[in-house]
Structure 1
Amino acid sequence: MNIVGISACTVGIAHTYIAQKKIELAAKKAGHSVKIETQGTIGIENELTEAEIAQADVVLIAADVNVSGEERFAGRKVVRVPTSIAVKSPNKLIEKLQEIVNG
């Protein structure tokens, strides 16, 4: 499975990056390809490209605030969760994404 997404928390510091790392580690552990863009206090980092979005099986938005550029995901399977889910249960989250992709 190919996962792309965005992480963003209310303060834009800790949980943004913790969620990114936890999602990436859980996805790679499960054998999936993953790239998570962060939208924090210093702006957008690890920005997703059009090609990466086009190749994604699912888009994960782990955010506690509105994120920039959601229109990029039109027509894609998008799953939204609070950052706390990504931080506390990343493995279960990846399993759920797999279920959604497989129908």
Structure 2
Amino acid sequence: MTKIVAVTACPSGVAHTYMAAEALESAAKAKGWQVKVETQGSIGQENVLTAEDIVDADMVILTKDIGIQFEERFTGKPLVRVNISDAVKRADAIMNKIQSHLAQTA
């Protein structure tokens, strides 16, 4: 089973952080994938990814509108960087691109 982890953060640290997390979770689950999304919002990190979550992940999605804290955790993992607005509005398209990439590397 495909496992995706993601970290969402936006400059204001409020609505888009959580909207992006929800959209990515829904799009991944629609494909039958396991997904866990850490948010780095105005109240800090929530739903923090564990070392095991990261090791088991087939793909990491990071939003790129603002620096992600502790990004070094993902060194060596396949990584996709997306705009927070794309994560909110185009999560299905992001998952389709990931699916194509994973199919080519399988």
- Determine the C-alpha separation between the residues in 2 that align with 1:40 and 1:82: 15
User: Following superposition of structure 1 onto structure 2, how do residues 57-72 of structure 1 map, counting pairs within 5 Å?
Assistant: 57-72=58-73
Q: Which residue of 2 aligns with 1:36?
A: 37
Contiguous gaps of at least 5 residues in structure 1? none
Tell me the alpha carbon deviations over residues 7-26 of structure 1, each in whole angstroms, 9 at most, x when there is no partner: 00010000000000000001
In the TM superposition, residue 102 of structure 1 has moved relative to its aligned partner by 2.2
- Look up the equivalent residue of 1:30 and give its one-letter code: K
Tell me the alpha carbon deviations over residues 20-74 of structure 1, each in whole angstroms, 9 at most, x when there is no partner: 0000001001111100100000000000000000000000002410010110001
RMSD: 0.8
- Determine the C-alpha separation between the residues in 2 that align with 1:99 and 1:85: 18
- Look up the equivalent residue of 2:69 and give its one-letter code: S
- Look up the equivalent residue of 1:35 and give its one-letter code: K
Contiguous gaps of at least 5 residues in structure 2? none
Preserved contact between residue 24 and residue 35 of structure 1 (Cα < 8 Å): yes
Q: Which residue of 2 aligns with 1:77?
A: 78
Q: Could you list the structure 1 runs, at least 4 aligned residues long, displaced by more than 3 angstroms after superposition.
A: none
Q: Which residue of 2 aligns with 1:23?
A: 24
- Determine the C-alpha separation between the residues in 1 that align with 2:27 and 2:83: 16
